Structure 1
Amino acid sequence: MNIKENDIIELLKSQDQFLRIASKTSVDNRISILKKLKSNIKTHEQDIIEAIYQDFQKPEFEVLTTELFVVYKELNLFIKNLKKWSKPKSVSPAWLNFPSSDKIHYVPWGKVLVIAPWNYPFQLAITPAIGAIACGNTVVLKPSEHAPHTADILKKIFDEVFEEQQAKVITGAVDTAKILLEQKWDYVFFTGSVPVGRIVSEQIAKHMTPHTLELGGKNPCIIDSTAKIDIAAKRICWGKFLNAGQTCIAPDYLMIDSKIKDEFQEKLISTLKEFYSESSYEDYTRLIHDAHYEKLTGFLKDLNIIYGGEYDAKTNFLAPTLVDSPDLSSPLMEEEIFGPILPIYSYSSFNELEEMISSFEKPLSLYVFSESKGFTNKVNETFDFGGGVINDTIVHFVNDKLPFGGVGASGIGNYHGRASFDTFTRKKPIVNRKTWLDIPIKYPPYTRVNSFKSFLNLFR
């Protein structure tokens, strides 16, 4: 669908009208629409699985666990808690306003634009949309053109569940995204790469639009000499090569204590052989498109490959690949890898570890494997990152009680569960002054200045 600017302008006008009407509707109506959405997704489960497989051969198990499971959890959480979260919150009034009652009201921003990526094309599109719609906003969802089959099923679901003025999927490529970003939104939620995130931020700054940017970065994974090697190898291989490494929170490189580096490398290799059949790789996702395939396979030139490295252009296949200590100036290390290539480095002191990790921007995630509480505490206190895990990888994403988001170049804002409610609502403070008493001290003429000075001494 090639959207024209006039079309989106008319859509936004209709959303304004919908918001004026919707402001009078109850939270119960929004909960009903969430239940309808959940039922519709359940009806189309197999269609979703097949669409994502057509886009880049993601195994059914990964679709169930990393796409549908996360979406159902978010829907269930909002259905259960939206009434409670939406109630105005009473706060203590200021003394100077006596007598009064003060409350914080949670109101929708208004018209929300959600721009989604291709790597988890269903979940990363619909999860923020759920939060926005639940909070009373209207939504325009722009899914990735690189996952066209998933975009089609998203459009089908939205057309069946929502009125167009409430929530609409608009498909298209870069030109469509450009037109959308040129409009004035009340809130923008973007998930994608750091370079594109900068472009989005610059564009919406023209309207001073509040926003969330879910980006990425070079996520370090530290393996201390006290780590349980067998468990660490399994959990790292799972987190890194899930979705063929096309995960914003995947470990981007390993930092292994030099005392156990050789042993740990061997365990990584044996684990990968156990996980994936080299003859078929049935449980292994392919790269999303030709350009990404060519970029990643191009990285492999002049690297010391210690395992993997096989590729096939016919299916955009790149095997899980381990590389030893690539030069930090190599293209592989200049940006987030976002693929199944795992660089391995060693360190001999904490200073070396700190120098390496601090040479990059603040990452979206950090992982540390250690049985030493003192070591893990030191790591968490030393480095700044969006979110982390001790003795596993990427699992913080699935806990809806934890806000998910980056810091610095890896992102702005967060979401998931209650954090999504806080993101997609604006806190509107209301002071209700009572009329049964009116203390005259604030009114001119200011004859009581000395009395107020005495009162002010209480705060000095």
Structure 2
Amino acid sequence: MSAAEPTFTLELQRIFDAQRKNAATVALTTAAERSEKLKVLLDYLMAHLTDIEKAMYDDFRKPSVEVQLGEVYTITSEIKFARKNLKHWLKPQRVPTPLGMIGTANYIRHEPKGNVLIISPWNYPLALAVKPLISAIAAGNVVMIKPSELTPHTSRFIKKMVSDLFAEEEVAVVEGDAEAATELLKLPFNHIFFTGAPTIGKIVMRAAAEHLASVTLELGGKSPNIIDETADIKKVAEMTAWSKGLNNGQTCIAADYVLIHASKKEAFIEAYRKALQEMYGDGAEHSDSYARIVNSRHFNRLKDYLDDAVAKGASIVVGGKTLAEQNYVEPTLLTNINNDMKIMQEEIFGPLLPILTYRTKEEVIAYINGREKPLALYIHSRSTENIEYFLKNTTAGDTVINDLMLQFGNAELPFGGVNNSGIGKSNGYFGFQEFSNLRGVSQRQFGTMKFLYPPYTPNVRKIMDLFVKYF
């Protein structure tokens, strides 16, 4: 059914109204009740691993190990962490009482925001739909999910799973294209969680503003991978090759370009080539450990980046092969890069990796800070002084030192970007907070503030002067 049809819009409104009516009931559920919902979700996922793997293979030939690592483990570990901590999260949190408010007790209650919308992307179609759902359920919300139409097999699995486990008035999945998302964004949700490109994030934020809805925007951008002169080049090359090959480079926290000390450039290229040989043999197109680009549109986008870079003077030093009939792009390194190339102007979201060199740390800082704030920043160094310098002089959503892409899997760390790379945080307690209203409560236990009531006599003024000076 087309999202443009009036019946589709009416159906969305019907589901939304049913959820809004039910939101107050769901908000009153206990930690134990919410934990049980998460347990049921966990059991379902574990019972349908084969279905999940098949859906993602059918969508873009995603290897089963990558499904387990990037999709399933990400979700199951999040559920276990939330269930372990949910009772504690829901307890009122006492806060100190300043002397000027003596006689009161003060605390914070976490209450659900209410009706929430999750719009998830295609690159990790299960994890990036279900992980925010876990936080939304833990916080006690009702939820509508719009999965990506670019991974239809996985979207159908999500819809079936949700319909099997939840009443429609609590959690519902809406399938469809961009028109469906547009119709959903017209509804007065209390919170919207969107994962995708910054350009679409701006559209979501404008729509949310119409209803003064809060937003979490998990975006992306160009994340740098700094490699200094002290780094273990063999190890760094292996890590980088793995991270750019994982999901065929279609990962928002994958390094988008390398900034390497000029003295280590050639060693890195050779080590990268050897790492690819060890991982994928004589050609990644023959390996069952290498996914494909999700569709022909994104394949053509990457092919255009590659062709444009070469036309403007870039050199392909590793890889470069493409096969349109398979949506296949080989792991590729490029040198002689300049900022006029499309590959340096847009997030790559594929296995192409430009290499830039530097000679001084100041060059690194100037280059990174001259661009939008990245979602992730990677530092490879054995110098404590260099690491601290790069951390102190840059800003990023998250930073990993001497490894790559660890941050998303740690429920103890906040995950999210800064400005153009994102707004708000997810993971564990931070995701729970994102779907909660932090309600401050002050309760008078004894005494009053009557000594400050009118009339404002000289004595009242003296008391107020003391408050200002000492409290």
Question: 432, 442, 449: which one pairs with 2:452?
Answer: 442
Gaps in structure 1 of 5+ consecutive residues:
none
2:362 is the counterpart of 1:351: yes
Partners in 2 of 1:433 and 1:419 — Cα distance? Answer: 30
Cα 1:164–1:53 shift into 2, 3 Å: same
Query: Given that residues 286 and 315 in structure 1 are in contact (C-alpha distance below 8 angstroms), is that contact kept between their aligned partners in structure 2?
Result: yes
Alignment correspondent of 1:335: 346
Residue type matched to 1:284 in 2? Answer: Y
Report how far residue 351 of structure 1 moved. Answer: 2.5
Report how far residue 97 of structure 1 moved. Answer: 4.3
Cα 1:55–1:94 shift into 2, 3 Å: same
Partners in 1 of 2:468 and 2:306 — Cα distance? Answer: 70
Offset from partner CA, 1:244-297 (integer Å, 9 cap, x none): 110000011111111121121111111111111216121101000110001101
Question: 230, 246, 249: which one pairs with 2:234?
Answer: 230
Query: Given that residues 97 and 433 in structure 1 are in contact (C-alpha distance below 8 angstroms), is that contact kept between their aligned partners in structure 2?
Result: no
Report how far residue 444 of structure 1 moved. Answer: 2.9
2:305 is the counterpart of 1:299: yes
Partners in 2 of 1:173 and 1:102 — Cα distance? Answer: 47
Alignment correspondent of 2:162: 158
Secondary structure at the counterpart of residue 304 of structure 2: helix
Report how far residue 43 of structure 1 moved. Answer: 1.4
Question: 415, 425, 433: which one pairs with 1:414?
Answer: 425
Question: 386, 396, 408: which one pairs with 2:397?
Answer: 386
Alignment correspondent of 1:77: 81
2:436 is the counterpart of 1:431: no
Secondary structure at the counterpart of residue 185 of structure 2: helix
Secondary structure at the counterpart of residue 297 of structure 1: helix
Secondary structure at the counterpart of residue 408 of structure 1: coil
Question: 8, 14, 36: which one pairs with 1:10?
Answer: 14
Alignment correspondent of 1:269: 273
2:181 is the counterpart of 1:171: no
Could you tell me the TM-score, scaled by structure 2's length? 0.94
Report how far residue 59 of structure 1 moved. Answer: 0.2
Partners in 2 of 1:98 and 1:150 — Cα distance? Answer: 56
Cα 1:34–1:348 shift into 2, 3 Å: same
Partners in 2 of 1:360 and 1:273 — Cα distance? Answer: 34
Cα 1:454–1:293 shift into 2, 3 Å: closer
Alignment correspondent of 1:67: 71
Secondary structure at the counterpart of residue 125 of structure 2: coil
Secondary structure at the counterpart of residue 325 of structure 2: coil
Alignment correspondent of 2:264: 260
Partners in 2 of 1:102 and 1:112 — Cα distance? Answer: 28
Question: 283, 288, 297: which one pairs with 1:282?
Answer: 288
Partners in 2 of 1:95 and 1:293 — Cα distance? Answer: 63
Query: Given that residues 88 and 106 in structure 1 are in contact (C-alpha distance below 8 angstroms), is that contact kept between their aligned partners in structure 2?
Result: yes
Residues 361-376 of structure 1: pairs in structure 2 closer than 5 A: 361-376=372-387
Alignment correspondent of 2:40: 36
Partners in 2 of 1:273 and 1:170 — Cα distance? Answer: 42
Offset from partner CA, 1:358-400 (integer Å, 9 cap, x none): 2321111111111111011101111111111111111122111
Cα 1:32–1:457 shift into 2, 3 Å: closer
Report how far residue 404 of structure 1 moved. Answer: 0.4
Question: 215, 218, 222: which one pairs with 1:218?
Answer: 222
Query: Given that residues 18 and 169 in structure 2 are in contact (C-alpha distance below 8 angstroms), is that contact kept between their aligned partners in structure 1?
Result: yes
Secondary structure at the counterpart of residue 260 of structure 2: strand
**Which stretch has the larger CA shift, 130-139 or 349-358?**
349-358
Question: 316, 337, 358: which one pairs with 1:326?
Answer: 337
Query: Given that residues 113 and 191 in structure 2 are in contact (C-alpha distance below 8 angstroms), is that contact kept between their aligned partners in structure 1?
Result: yes
Report how far residue 90 of structure 1 moved. Answer: 1.7
Report how far residue 22 of structure 1 moved. Answer: 2.2
Residue type matched to 1:43 in 2? Answer: A
Report how far residue 134 of structure 1 moved. Answer: 1.3
Cα 1:276–1:96 shift into 2, 3 Å: same
Query: Given that residues 287 and 293 in structure 1 are in contact (C-alpha distance below 8 angstroms), is that contact kept between their aligned partners in structure 2?
Result: yes
Offset from partner CA, 1:184-227 (integer Å, 9 cap, x none): 11000000011111111122112221111001111111111111
Cα 1:368–1:457 shift into 2, 3 Å: closer
**Which stretch has the larger CA shift, 424-433 or 286-295?**
424-433
**Which stretch has the larger CA shift, 442-451 or 359-368?**
442-451
Query: Given that residues 248 and 350 in structure 2 are in contact (C-alpha distance below 8 angstroms), is that contact kept between their aligned partners in structure 1?
Result: yes
Partners in 2 of 1:421 and 1:181 — Cα distance? Answer: 22
Query: Given that residues 309 and 320 in structure 1 are in contact (C-alpha distance below 8 angstroms), is that contact kept between their aligned partners in structure 2?
Result: yes
Secondary structure at the counterpart of residue 238 of structure 1: helix
Offset from partner CA, 1:107-165 (integer Å, 9 cap, x none): 00000100000000000110001100111001101000000000000001100111101
Report how far residue 93 of structure 1 moved. Answer: 3.2
Alignment correspondent of 2:414: 403
Secondary structure at the counterpart of residue 114 of structure 1: strand
Cα 1:156–1:455 shift into 2, 3 Å: same
Report how far residue 2 of structure 1 moved. Answer: 4.2
Partners in 2 of 1:67 and 1:457 — Cα distance? Answer: 54
Alignment correspondent of 1:452: 463
Report how far residue 457 of structure 1 moved. Answer: 5.1
Residue type matched to 2:401 in 1? Answer: I
Secondary structure at the counterpart of residue 140 of structure 1: strand
Percent identity between the two aligned chains:
37
Paired residues, number:
459
Alignment correspondent of 1:47: 51
Secondary structure at the counterpart of residue 415 of structure 1: coil
Secondary structure at the counterpart of residue 255 of structure 1: strand
Report how far residue 92 of structure 1 moved. Answer: 2.8
Partners in 1 of 2:147 and 2:190 — Cα distance? Answer: 19
Secondary structure at the counterpart of residue 157 of structure 2: helix
Secondary structure at the counterpart of residue 455 of structure 1: helix
Cα 1:438–1:295 shift into 2, 3 Å: closer
Residues 12-27 of structure 1: pairs in structure 2 closer than 5 A: 12-27=16-31
Partners in 2 of 1:357 and 1:280 — Cα distance? Answer: 37
Query: Given that residues 2 and 171 in structure 1 are in contact (C-alpha distance below 8 angstroms), is that contact kept between their aligned partners in structure 2?
Result: no
Report how far residue 173 of structure 1 moved. Answer: 0.3
Partners in 2 of 1:155 and 1:332 — Cα distance? Answer: 36
Residues 124-163 of structure 1: pairs in structure 2 closer than 5 A: 124-163=128-167
Alpha-carbon RMSD: 1.5
Gaps in structure 2 of 5+ consecutive residues:
none
